[in-house]
Structure 1
Amino acid sequence: MQNKNTGENKNNKNKNYILWYAITAFILIYIFSTTKNFITTQEISYSAFIEMIKTNQVERVVISSSEIDIIPKENSERNNGKLLYTGNVGDDNLVELLIENDIEFTAKTVQNNFMTEFILTWVVAPVICFFLLRFFFSKMGGRMGGSSMMKFGKSNAKVYREKDIKITFDDVAGQDEAKESLKEIIDYLNHSEKYVEIGAKLPKGALLVGPPGTGKTLLAKAVAGEANVPFLSISGSNFVEMFAGMGAAKVRDLFQEAEKNAPCIIFIDEIDSIGKSRDSQLQTNDEREQTLNQLLTQMDGFDSTKAIVILGATNRPEILDKALLRPGRFDRRIIVDRPDLKGRIDILKVHAKDVKLGEDVNLEEIAKSTPGAVGADLANMVNEAALRAVKQGRNVVMQEDLREAVEVIIAGKEKKDRILSPKEKRIVAFHEVGHALVAALLERADPVHKITIVPRTMGALGYTMQLPEEEKYLVSKEELINQIMVMLGGRSAEEVVFNVITTGASNDIERATKTARSIVTLYGMTEKFDMMALESVQNRYLDGRAVRECSEQTSTMIDEEVLKIIKTCHENTKKLLEENRDLLDKIAEYLLEKETIFGDEFMDFVCEKYPELRNKKSKENKEEKQELVEE
């Protein structure tokens, strides 16, 4: 059966060669025949021809039934290297005129010239073009690894052999649960016979789901590296073609290639490109649906005893077709989520192992300052720190390089050429101290790490950085309200001190409103709506945008409730700052002088007035350190 398929593939390949070579030859001949006369000949009027005869500019004339070819003399003003011709108008006096002017003339034999031209144009030229093109494409195919440019049905999957994959689970940090779920697949690839013997059938496909940058592709390569098997990698968008049926042909070719390399792993990145649900009535794509149908058929059809595992990756699992997720296809979902604190520390260690670090480097501090960061973000931060160390003329990365790298990723580089007026600088200083002071005076608010009024390239004229004391998975309503008050602390400070309203709080207002709306619509934390779900989150692993699920009348009530929360937080924040106006002025003046102050300096001012806060923070830090030691 295999030999028969091989013979059919060779025949199809030869047919494709002949077809495309013939088409190319025809195009070349057509272009040659249509441009030949334009390049080598030039038509003139019959009267101009008679004038040339009378002025002795004609060397020789060839007469046929339809036209007259004119060879001008070398000294003729019309001699431009082209053959001149004009139409034969049946002039009876032409022969006498030629004889009188002693001009040589002959008659063209139409039949012989026609046959010669036909043979040269439609027989000899196609054969020559055929062999030249075949030679050219065979050379090109050899340079491209044996693949022909004409094979539109080839999957073009990148094949990594066992020796090419150097990535293992040691190179993937912060995803312990995902790695544990994939160990069973690795054992199946290495020892498939014991599963076959007992009659067990492992899942044919596993879907890696998570936000961008969490390491889904890296994890798939690590599975192949651990199992020491070939790895066929392709993106879902590569299957989408302009011609109907080409995507399905690529799917068939992919699985044929996998069977030749079994045991192996097929990895389809961004599988949502072809696996989008077919239930949508708004937009359809026949080519994509044919490709999806072929993928479903192939997943059902290939022999499970050949140890072929299909891994797919996506950050939009909610739009995938249900048929793709049923048992027997992608029936395992492995979450590759954002790493926690311990995971971020491990990821930083992996990316920093090849970087020369100074003795003062504390990766735990960097991990704490980057909640929500994914592996790609952390790798970028380590690289930015290394680049900064080189710019500073050092051969090791210091802690200040890593801190600056975090700020560059979050807020951009320092924009030292942006000079604020003294009034604007004071407003920015009080704005940032307003944020920090509210955070310090409220309970269960993240402590302040840094306050600066140095402008950044991403538009911030200054910012206040808070570092969470611990990794939080549950947030209370009180903590959310405190977050809103901290966000509104900047605008409130401007109102308390200057009695003005500026545009500097636009981002604070946006985030505060979003948090207040989530309290009402997502978390069920208001008495008015109790635990009624008013919005649902779409694209959880992308932007996480909420979609309304209520009537217009209810939306109006939601807006009123959100406004009520914002107003209450605004009033309480202004009241808190008015009660501590002395601290606000003192810290802001110090910030204007230093431009940047850190959390310890800031807390020294606060604890002069509230000594109990220092004891409380010290106790919290001690408990936190004890927990880390126990871990």
Structure 2
Amino acid sequence: MRWAAAALSLVMLFGAAFAFGHRYAPRHVLPATLTYSSMLAAMQQGRVDSIAIVPGHEILGWWATPVAGERAFRVTYSTTDIEGLIQRAEAAGVDITFRAPLSGGLDYTNVAISVVLLMAVAVLVRRQMTGGQGGGTDLGRTSQSSTTFGNVAGNEGAVTELREIVEFLKTPEKFARVGARTPKGVLMFGPPGTGKTLMARAVAGEAGVPFWSISGSEVTGFIVGLGVMRIKSLFKKARKSGGVIFIDEIDALGGRRGRNQSHNEDDRTLNQLLIELDGFSPTDGVVVIAATNRAEDLDPALMRPGRFDRSVSVSLPSASEREAILRLHAAQRRVPLETGVDLGRLARLMPQTSGADLANLLNEAAIVAARHGTDEVEWTHIESARDRLLLGKERSGFRASDREWRIVAMHEAGHALAGVRWCPEDGLHKVTIQPRGQAMGVAFFSPDSDQHLHSRRYLEGQILKGLGGRAAEQVVFGPDAITSGARSDLQHVTRIAKEMVYNLGMGASTGLMIYDSSTGPVSGELHAAMDREVRTIIDGLYVRAVETMVTHRAALEALGEALLEQETIDGPDAVRIMERHGLTGPAGAAA
């Protein structure tokens, strides 16, 4: 049926195009145009046989003998004073006739047919976009979810909140007896890939109710009234059977009204959503769950009580939660892990990653294992997959001069030395000069646990670690030989220093105030003072980084030379190399 409607739409569209083309297409090819003086000269020479005058418009003429294969010509003649022209034509023996101007009226029959055909096409296209007679039957996809909370690992706080929603759906009378009102809506917000959609499916699966799924971008559109119609249809169907309505990317639908002054169809759609949220009662057995990565962009009207009553934060998992997620994915996908694979260690090596990132990591590791023809996923496969995801594909054909490789080796050794000296709690995992993606080398660190509060000493240690590469280049090769390899390092340390001054109140001369978009603009003088403070922090720590490289130059060069020989060195081995060449204990743990 949908194919037939599409075919009919095309036929009608071509019909409308033909009608317009037939009405407005030129009827003939216009003859060549002459100037008025050229025509008079041709008449005096006896070359013109006859003319037809269209007063106020033009003169059409015919040659006595064809000129360049043409029999006719035309002259633009906008004046109505034709007495002089008539006298000249009669004197030259040219026949004269008169014609009325062509009618400028429209062919109303063709226009009417065209309008009707185009309206029919618009109606058919709109019906296709809304799913035919049902007004959106394909928009809200429904299914009986088989997902449960057993398929969810991590985010125990969010899961606890959602378990209560399951109780509302399964036993609403228990809450009604004590006068409790069932939440109408739950907003889940957090970074991408943290499992918001999975949790929404688990709510429907645990409660044994239908799961209606829709994306906010599917609802909005430029056809007037289409978004409103889709929202009405979705809630009408959900009321009949009950269940969970899941709206993904609700920021595309529920953004602050008035953002786009030239087009307010999105605002009307949001208004209809608010009406629907106000309109259904707890006895309908419907709960709306929405997900977004940008909660700050939502219209405040969505968040008032009686609409989205609850907000559930779905954050990036901790180290223990990452381990649980890895175990769950390995079991669900039946990934055969070698006995020596330590998923707890892998979880610590993947800080600030989502469940989707971890699932992708295991999948990439399985691909590497299959590529090598093994029946089990080994630790080396996981390391290779991790490096690929974090840094990019290995550049096996990359070529550089011996001097450049030596600079890279000393640069990465500098990062490792500064990290071990000033950030011992981060833990050096490995150092490599194997080029991947845009990097020619990297020093990996893996903290033993997630750190939620960062002291000034810790942040300064991160800056020192970032400056270690440039400092090593300066100490080993001289200040005139520093390279562009430290660009990303300098960007990183600048961000940390700005965070310290602008948002954490750690600037010595700028005090405890915080300066961000929420506090409004600051004076030019204060802004300059903050920038000077940022530079003071970076410059002072760079001096300390250079002193560290000078003091432990033997350890620095020993690790650099070892990298040139081995290319990749594990963290414990790198620390032992530096300790054998004079590196003492850490300068102090960053609390």
- TM norm structure 1: 0.72
- 1:476: which partner in 2? 455
How many Å apart are 1:530 and its aligned residue?
A: 2.1
Q: 2:536 aligns with which of 561, 564, 573?
A: 564
Q: Give the Cα–Cα distance (whole angstroms) in 2 for the partners of residues 297 and 456 of structure 1.
A: 53
User: Is 1:314 aligned to 2:292, yes or no?
Assistant: yes
CA contact (8 A) 1:439 1:445 kept: no
User: Is 1:186 aligned to 2:166, yes or no?
Assistant: yes
SS in 1 for 2:136: coil
User: Is 1:170 aligned to 2:150, yes or no?
Assistant: yes
Q: 1:574 aligns with which of 522, 530, 546?
A: 546
CA contact (8 A) 1:429 1:591 kept: yes
- 2:501: which partner in 1? 520
CA contact (8 A) 1:445 1:482 kept: no
CA contact (8 A) 1:196 1:305 kept: no
How many Å apart are 1:361 and its aligned residue?
A: 0.8
How many Å apart are 1:184 and its aligned residue?
A: 0.9
SS in 2 for 1:217: helix
Q: Give the Cα–Cα distance (whole angstroms) in 1 for the partners of residues 163 and 195 of structure 2.
A: 17
Question: Relative to structure 1, is the Cα distance of residues 293 and 155 closer, same or farther in structure 2, using a 3 angstrom cutoff?
Answer: farther
Question: Relative to structure 1, is the Cα distance of residues 473 and 272 closer, same or farther in structure 2, using a 3 angstrom cutoff?
Answer: same
Q: Give the Cα–Cα distance (whole angstroms) in 1 for the partners of residues 571 and 377 of structure 2.
A: 23
- 2:575: which partner in 1? 603
- 1:356: which partner in 2? 336
Q: Give the Cα–Cα distance (whole angstroms) in 2 for the partners of residues 22 and 576 of structure 1.
A: 78
CA contact (8 A) 1:386 1:401 kept: yes
CA contact (8 A) 1:234 1:269 kept: yes
Q: 1:211 aligns with which of 157, 177, 191?
A: 191
Question: Relative to structure 1, is the Cα distance of residues 470 and 28 closer, same or farther in structure 2, using a 3 angstrom cutoff?
Answer: closer
Question: Relative to structure 1, is the Cα distance of residues 258 and 494 closer, same or farther in structure 2, using a 3 angstrom cutoff?
Answer: same
User: Is 1:509 aligned to 2:481, yes or no?
Assistant: no
Pairwise CA RMSD of aligned residues? 3.4
SS in 1 for 2:426: coil
How many Å apart are 1:161 and its aligned residue?
A: 2.9
Q: Give the Cα–Cα distance (whole angstroms) in 2 for the partners of residues 554 and 152 of structure 1.
A: 61
How many Å apart are 1:243 and its aligned residue?
A: 1.4
SS in 2 for 1:488: helix
- 2:211: which partner in 1? 231
SS in 2 for 1:370: coil
- 1:496: which partner in 2? 475
User: Is 1:202 aligned to 2:202, yes or no?
Assistant: no
- More divergent stretch after superposition (347-356 vs 21-30): 21-30
Report sequence identity in percent: 37
CA contact (8 A) 1:156 1:234 kept: no
Q: 2:466 aligns with which of 483, 487, 496?
A: 487
Question: Relative to structure 1, is the Cα distance of residues 26 and 478 closer, same or farther in structure 2, using a 3 angstrom cutoff?
Answer: closer
CA contact (8 A) 1:153 1:247 kept: no
Q: Give the Cα–Cα distance (whole angstroms) in 2 for the partners of residues 460 and 375 of structure 1.
A: 26
User: Is 1:422 aligned to 2:399, yes or no?
Assistant: no
- 1:386: which partner in 2? 366
- 2:51: which partner in 1? none
User: Is 1:303 aligned to 2:281, yes or no?
Assistant: yes
How many residues are matched?
492
- 1:92: which partner in 2? none
How many Å apart are 1:202 and its aligned residue?
A: 1.5
How many Å apart are 1:331 and its aligned residue?
A: 1.8
User: Is 1:159 aligned to 2:113, yes or no?
Assistant: no
SS in 1 for 2:253: helix
Q: 1:585 aligns with which of 557, 564, 574?
A: 557
- 2:511: which partner in 1? 530
Unaligned ranges ≥5, structure 2 = 29-108
How many Å apart are 1:584 and its aligned residue?
A: 1.1
- More divergent stretch after superposition (395-404 vs 283-292): 283-292
How many Å apart are 1:555 and its aligned residue?
A: 1.2
CA offset digits 1:115-162 (Å, max 9, x no partner): xxx9xxx9xxx9xxx9xx9xxx9xxx9xx9xx9854594263343332
CA offset digits 1:36-95 (Å, max 9, x no partner): 99xxxx99xxxxxxxxxxxxxxxxxxxxxxxxxxxxxxxxxxxxxxxxxxxxxxxxxxxx
How many Å apart are 1:445 and its aligned residue?
A: 4.6
- 2:444: which partner in 1? 465
User: Is 1:435 aligned to 2:435, yes or no?
Assistant: no
How many Å apart are 1:32 and its aligned residue?
A: 7.6
How many Å apart are 1:611 and its aligned residue?
A: 8.2
Amino acid at match of 1:347: I
Q: Give the Cα–Cα distance (whole angstroms) in 1 for the partners of residues 400 and 10 of structure 2.
A: 67
SS in 1 for 2:431: strand
Q: Give the Cα–Cα distance (whole angstroms) in 2 for the partners of residues 333 and 174 of structure 1.
A: 18
Question: Relative to structure 1, is the Cα distance of residues 23 and 570 closer, same or farther in structure 2, using a 3 angstrom cutoff?
Answer: closer
How many Å apart are 1:552 and its aligned residue?
A: 2.0
Q: Give the Cα–Cα distance (whole angstroms) in 1 for the partners of residues 171 and 523 of structure 2.
A: 57
Q: Give the Cα–Cα distance (whole angstroms) in 2 for the partners of residues 454 and 181 of structure 1.
A: 46
CA contact (8 A) 2:554 2:581 kept: no
Q: Give the Cα–Cα distance (whole angstroms) in 1 for the partners of residues 482 and 305 of structure 2.
A: 59
CA offset digits 1:376-403 (Å, max 9, x no partner): 1111100000000001110110111112
SS in 2 for 1:471: coil
Q: Give the Cα–Cα distance (whole angstroms) in 1 for the partners of residues 164 and 256 of structure 2.
A: 29
Q: Give the Cα–Cα distance (whole angstroms) in 1 for the partners of residues 313 and 364 of structure 2.
A: 29
How many Å apart are 1:413 and its aligned residue?
A: 1.8
How many Å apart are 1:431 and its aligned residue?
A: 0.2
Amino acid at match of 2:390: I
Q: 2:566 aligns with which of 594, 605, 620?
A: 594
How many Å apart are 1:300 and its aligned residue?
A: 0.5
Question: Relative to structure 1, is the Cα distance of residues 30 and 216 closer, same or farther in structure 2, using a 3 angstrom cutoff?
Answer: closer
Q: Give the Cα–Cα distance (whole angstroms) in 2 for the partners of residues 371 and 586 of structure 1.
A: 30
How many Å apart are 1:205 and its aligned residue?
A: 0.2
CA contact (8 A) 1:244 1:286 kept: no
How many Å apart are 1:22 and its aligned residue?
A: 10
Question: Relative to structure 1, is the Cα distance of residues 405 and 22 closer, same or farther in structure 2, using a 3 angstrom cutoff?
Answer: closer
Q: Give the Cα–Cα distance (whole angstroms) in 2 for the partners of residues 25 and 379 of structure 1.
A: 48
Q: Give the Cα–Cα distance (whole angstroms) in 1 for the partners of residues 190 and 431 of structure 2.
A: 33
Q: Give the Cα–Cα distance (whole angstroms) in 2 for the partners of residues 365 and 390 of structure 1.
A: 23
Q: Give the Cα–Cα distance (whole angstroms) in 1 for the partners of residues 20 and 467 of structure 2.
A: 76
Q: Give the Cα–Cα distance (whole angstroms) in 1 for the partners of residues 228 and 347 of structure 2.
A: 45
After superposition, where does 1:10-21 map in structure 2 within 5 Å? none
Amino acid at match of 2:396: K
Amino acid at match of 1:464: A
After superposition, where does 1:438-449 map in structure 2 within 5 Å? 438-442=418-422, 444-449=424-429
Amino acid at match of 2:320: K
- 1:405: which partner in 2? 385
Unaligned ranges ≥5, structure 1 = 1-18, 44-117, 538-546, 621-631
Q: Give the Cα–Cα distance (whole angstroms) in 1 for the partners of residues 454 and 200 of structure 2.
A: 33
Amino acid at match of 2:359: A
SS in 2 for 1:166: coil
- 2:320: which partner in 1? 342
